[in-house]
Amino acid sequence: MPNSVGKRFKPTKYIPVSTAATFLVGSTTLFFVFTCPWLTNTISPAVPLYNGVVFLFVLANFSMATFMDPGVFPKADEDEDKDDDFRAPLYKNVEIKGIQVRMKWCATCHFYRPPRCSHCSVCDNCVEDFDHHCPWVNNCIGRRNYRYFFLFLLSLSIHMVGVFSFGLLFVLHHMEQLGTLHTTVTLVVMCIAGLFFIPVMGLTGFHMVLVARGRTTNEQVTGKFRGGVNPFTRGCCGNIKYVLCAPLAPRYNGVDPRKKPPVSIQPPFIRPDLSDRQISIKVSNNGIHTSILQSKSKISLDGLAVDDKGLDTQPPLPPKAERYNQLKSQLTSSQDSSLSGKTHPSTPAMYKYRPSFGTIPKVHYHAAGEKIVMPDDHRKASAILEEGRCHVDYRSEPNLDLPDYRNAPLHRSFQSSPLQLDSYPINSSSLNLKQAHQRRDKGQLPVLQPETVTSTPYKSVFSPLSNRNSSLSYDSLLNPSISPATAAECMAHPGMPSMGSHSPYLPTKMCHVRGPEPQIQKQQVPPSFSPVGMGMSRGRQSPQDRDLSPVRYDNLSKTIMASIQERKEMEEREKLQHHGGCSQAQSYAQAQDSGMFDSSGGYGLPPSACYPDSPRDPSSRGPTPPAYRGSRDNLMGVVSYGPRTPVLRSSGGSSLARAPRTSSSSLHTDSSMQGGRVPETPCRSPPHQPHHSPAKPQSPSYTHKKLSFIHALERTDSPRLGGPREAMMQSKVNGQTDCHLGPNSSSAQGTTLSPSRHSNVKKVTGVGGTTYEISV
């Protein structure tokens, strides 16, 4: 075989065409030789002439159908499929005259097959307007040669009818000479014609129907338009006209490079004026991050802007969580779209259907450009994330002002209303009220971004801790690659990645904030008290956080206020760190662990033993420190008694328990104000984690967030705080946790959890009326 391995000479594929050609030519020749002379003499010379013309027509169309390029698409260059291979879905939807048509990715040819195009496995090519592969002509029938094939069928049918009829005429006139050569041959020819008559006529009739309907064989056989409308039809007459009279389509393959004179391209290049194009970028920016924003792809910003606008239309402090839910769903969908690429790296050929494309029925192939942008988006987002992270991770000073955060991309999305300041101190990604005020002046930040916003304060609050905390470093490590995704996922906003990246805590926080609902909590991350811990947990969980529980604004606001309070507490704690009481953290952690299980919804863990009667006995700081509200998304480990008993327990226990788990060792350290505990907490976290994992789905991880010190405080203060706080807390079903930091120095706490852990409990009243207890 002279051919390469890839293209073997297969004689078998030439058998049908050879047979057909042989029969056609042979029979007709015999007819002309043996039958036509008598016919010419008997009837008229027009008979052979007519038959000759028809036969010529048949041959011409047969040759065209056999040798003409059916409309093969040349395989795409590598550059063209670069975007598509690894990030694109298997199908793209395109709308043709109002009807959705699916374009499938061709793995062989590396492009999305145009409508009506199909890949022929015999020829190993994608063919335009693919009809079928005809073995009798050994060629695909496509756009360019369908007319010839159809005419071949028509003319062959006519030819066969003619040959058969004239042969019959001859035989009828030579009945008595059936043994003679001429008659015999004519009979044979008649038999052949008769034999192929049925299939050929059947096929001709079939294609006549197809032509009238404007369908291809492929479409008819696969039943594409069985119940629906054919978008390619032009009406019966239009279809017939199209088949017969359309101009011959050009060849794509074998197009000679068309030696054109080369075009010289020399720099310098003319650039258009870009001034007006960047205005939109700057608008949502408070001006600090102009450079960052400009580096981002426009689409991401536009996406942000869109969401922002959506948020702006809502009242600054939506009283209901529904709005937030709407926003979140909004975000989630867009987030899914934007993140689909990240989550599905397989090629379209692997039949991964990406939700992003699937859910968007419009002409997706438009987004060749968009697809290019998306990687940009991610890349730039990650770049920005890195920047943001730098701001966050490496800040060591517990500076409340957090001027760097202003630069956070969060800015873009934070157009929180002034009213939200309390609830979302983060607006500007910092707990700094001053900054928040500044931001207010900038205008309304999108309500949407409360998540991001909330996360910011955490970042700012705990930034000082982060340096001390190994967990923080983990967070920062967490995501050079993941943070964008994490953040994005948490944020549920395509434009958010930058923001999320800004602080490793942000995603955590966002998730945290979002998941106040008990059942949704995927974020089980133990909401360790430290934002770091939260960030970490969030970071880990964010991929899971697809369905975020709706966050109530009232809860959120409290959360944010709590975060603000936390910052203050942090400062206080730092002062108090020098106090002793190592055991406190541990005991609290234990208690909280158990509590967490309870809160998680009845995993019924041991803690119940520890907190036997918390629910019933508000005064007893037993199992459920009053400060522990079961609220899931409590940032501060709200403590509440009463109805939330199981929650309470968890909250109480969880705060400490989670804290270690989330490796919020720093938190523990801080909370407990005892340096000695630091080494212990990290040890604690791992063992706790497995425990809490079951709890996670149920209890919002927010329970984790209880600061360890809060537990201590809460326990002490439970009797005092329980009442009013209970009322507050009960109103928050989602378990918004308020941090109650109270300067409660002694009493209650040790009783149930660990008497030895008594520490000074300091109560700090937050802005929103939440009180935080800091165990000193």
- Residues annotated catalytic, as ranges: 134
Minimum distance from residue 372 beta carbon to other proteins (Å)? 4
Closer by beta carbon to other proteins, 3 or else 264? 264
Token couple for 438:
């500044």
Minimum distance from residue 306 beta carbon to other proteins (Å)? 15
DSSP bridge partners of 132: 141
CA distance 738 to 725: 9
Minimum distance from residue 144 beta carbon to other proteins (Å)? 10
Determine contact, residues 452/499, Cβ cutoff 8 Å: yes
Supply the DSSP string of 536-577, one letter for each residue. HHHHHHGGGTTSPPPPPHHHHHHHHHHHHHHHHHHHHHHHHT
Determine contact, residues 317/337, Cβ cutoff 8 Å: no
CA distance 636 to 710: 7
Closer by beta carbon to other proteins, 15 or else 248? 248
CA dihedral in degrees (552, 557, 561, 566; nearest 10)? 30
Minimum distance from residue 132 beta carbon to other proteins (Å)? 18
- Chain centre distance of CA 683: 37
Determine contact, residues 357/468, Cβ cutoff 8 Å: no
Determine contact, residues 592/655, Cβ cutoff 8 Å: yes
Closer by beta carbon to other proteins, 41 or else 275? 275
CA atoms within 13 A on the CB side of 640: 31
Closer by beta carbon to other proteins, 93 or else 749? 93
Minimum distance from residue 16 beta carbon to other proteins (Å)? 23
Closer by beta carbon to other proteins, 95 or else 124? 95
Cis peptide before 250 (omega within 30 of 0): no
CA distance 336 to 510: 16
Q: For the stretch 704-722, what's the b/e string if a residue is b when 16 or more beta carbons lie within 10 angstroms of its beta carbon? A: bbbbbbbbbbbbbbbbbbb
CA distance 69 to 141: 9
Closer by beta carbon to other proteins, 179 or else 254? 254
Owner of token pair 């909330």: 454
Closer by beta carbon to other proteins, 8 or else 258? 258
Q: DSSP 3-state assignment of 347?
A: coil
Token couple for 751:
């009783």
Closer by beta carbon to other proteins, 7 or else 260? 260
CA max distance for the chain: 131
Minimum distance from residue 268 beta carbon to other proteins (Å)? 7
Closer by beta carbon to other proteins, 80 or else 613? 80
Q: DSSP 3-state assignment of 395?
A: coil
Q: DSSP 3-state assignment of 755?
A: helix
CA distance 776 to 769: 21
Closer by beta carbon to other proteins, 55 or else 553? 55
Minimum distance from residue 4 beta carbon to other proteins (Å)? 22
Minimum distance from residue 230 beta carbon to other proteins (Å)? 11
CA distance 430 to 613: 39
CA distance 485 to 650: 30
Minimum distance from residue 239 beta carbon to other proteins (Å)? 11
Minimum distance from residue 365 beta carbon to other proteins (Å)? 5
CA distance 244 to 462: 76
Q: Give the Å distances, CA to CA, from 528 to 49, 63, 129, 523, 703.
A: 97, 79, 61, 12, 8
Minimum distance from residue 333 beta carbon to other proteins (Å)? 22
Q: DSSP 3-state assignment of 389?
A: helix
Taking phi first (over 0 means left), then psi (-120 to 50 degrees means alpha), and beta for anything else, what does residue 287 get?
left
- Chain centre distance of CA 312: 25
CA distance 35 to 47: 10
DSSP E strands: which ranges in 310-390? none
Closer by beta carbon to other proteins, 168 or else 249? 249
Q: DSSP 3-state assignment of 401?
A: coil
Closer by beta carbon to other proteins, 9 or else 269? 269
CA distance 369 to 164: 60
Closest residue by Cα to residue 300 from 430, 428, 413: 413
Minimum distance from residue 238 beta carbon to other proteins (Å)? 9
- Chain centre distance of CA 34: 73
